[in-house]
């Protein structure tokens, strides 16, 4: 059974005066649940997990799990290039009550296929909740191939993948090799409907940070059989998505959440405020989409 079906928001982590802004995070969570978001994905790439220290990481995960209180599934990002640390993050996140884990491929080390298999099996052996693989080679330098996904899915705790390679041919092959009990989620907002047409259970989304209701409606249209309507919503969203990725994620999307008045325009280095031209583009596309 899928951890969730529909839209999981890869939620931003608000900051204020150098610290996590838990008041803003609580307000974001309540807004997402009210708008129909199907799952909260915390401490992922969009959540600036790489600049949270160990204690902060678990504190944020626990806060989200406690605030959501089982109203929707909570998935914690617990990936690392250090297997022992990935195990620690995963075990500690399970302890604080999340429903699943999202584990990005080990970055920088660029493990061999044998090392990648051993890494994921070691993490999966340490937990008792479902884990999603996360393949985003543009950021990590490591790709989970369809053949590797087929091998990894043999572990009972590895139950799906966020596929963000952007390679539609690879996604087609992955869909061919995996079974119905292994869930695939689009990791790219501009490919949601194409990937769902291959059997994906939904999307782990960046754009849902600012357009949760419409993103949820788009996916529901697809599930209800209105493929044409879902495709039209995907195409309507494309200029906004392009604006959100005109600089490295999560710089533009956090700025967009700020433009909605829902968080401070604050990052942790090396992430920093976007260029003026990016802010103007965001304002233009958010206005065109009816958000501001």
User: Could you give the count of Cα atoms lying within 13 Å of 11 in the half-sphere of its Cβ?
Assistant: 32
Q: How far is it, in rounded angstroms, from Cα 189 to Cα 206?
A: 7
283 has catalytic annotation: no
Contact of 192 with 221, CB cutoff 8 Å:
no
Selecting among 5, 62, 153, 162, the annotated active-site residue is 162
DSSP lists the bridge partners of residue 163 as: 135, 186
Contact of 195 with 234, CB cutoff 8 Å:
no
Q: Which two tokens stand for residue 67?
A: 């605030």
120 has catalytic annotation: no
Angle, helices 251-259 vs 276-288, to 10°: value is 60
Q: How far is it, in rounded angstroms, from Cα 234 to Cα 252?
A: 19
CB neighbours (10 Å) of residue 147?
Answer: 12
3-class DSSP assignment, residue 5: coil
3-class DSSP assignment, residue 121: helix
Selecting among 134, 153, 185, 214, the annotated active-site residue is 134
Q: Which residues are known to be catalytic?
A: 134, 162
């Amino acid at each position: 059974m899928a951890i969730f079906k529909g839209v999981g928001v890869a939620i931003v982590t608000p900051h204020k005066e150098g610290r996590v802004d838990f008041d803003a995070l609580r307000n974001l969570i309540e807004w997402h649940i009210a708008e129909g978001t199907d799952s909260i994905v915390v401490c992922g790439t969009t959540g600036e997990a790489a600049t949270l220290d160990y204690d902060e990481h678990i504190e944020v995960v626990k806060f989200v799990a406690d605030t959501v209180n089982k109203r929707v599934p909570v998935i914690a990002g617990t990936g690392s290039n250090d297997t022992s640390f990935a195990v620690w993050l995963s075990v500690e996140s399970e302890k604080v009550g999340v429903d699943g884990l999202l584990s990005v491929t080990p970055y920088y080390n660029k493990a061999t296929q044998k090392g990648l298999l051993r890494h994921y099996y070691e993490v999966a052996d340490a937990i008792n909740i479902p884990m999603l693989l996360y393949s985003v080679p543009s950021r990590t330098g490591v790709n989970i191939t369809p053949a590797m996904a087929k091998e990894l899915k043999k572990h009972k705790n590895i139950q799906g993948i966020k596929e963000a390679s952007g390679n539609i041919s690879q996604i087609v092959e992955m869909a061919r090799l995996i079974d119905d009990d292994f869930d695939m989620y689009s990791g790219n907002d501009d490919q949601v409907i194409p990937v769902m047409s291959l059997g994906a259970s939904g999307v782990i989304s960046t754009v849902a940070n600012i357009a949760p209701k419409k993103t949820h409606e788009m996916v529901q249209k697809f599930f209800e059989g209105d493929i044409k309507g879902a495709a039209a919503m995907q195409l309507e969203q494309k200029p906004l998505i392009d604006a959100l990725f005109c600089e490295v994620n999560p710089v533009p999307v956090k700025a967009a959440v700020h433009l909605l008045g829902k968080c401070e325009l604050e990052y942790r280095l090396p992430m920093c405020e976007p260029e003026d031209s990016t802010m103007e583009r965001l304002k233009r596309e958010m206005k065109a989409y009816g958000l501001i």
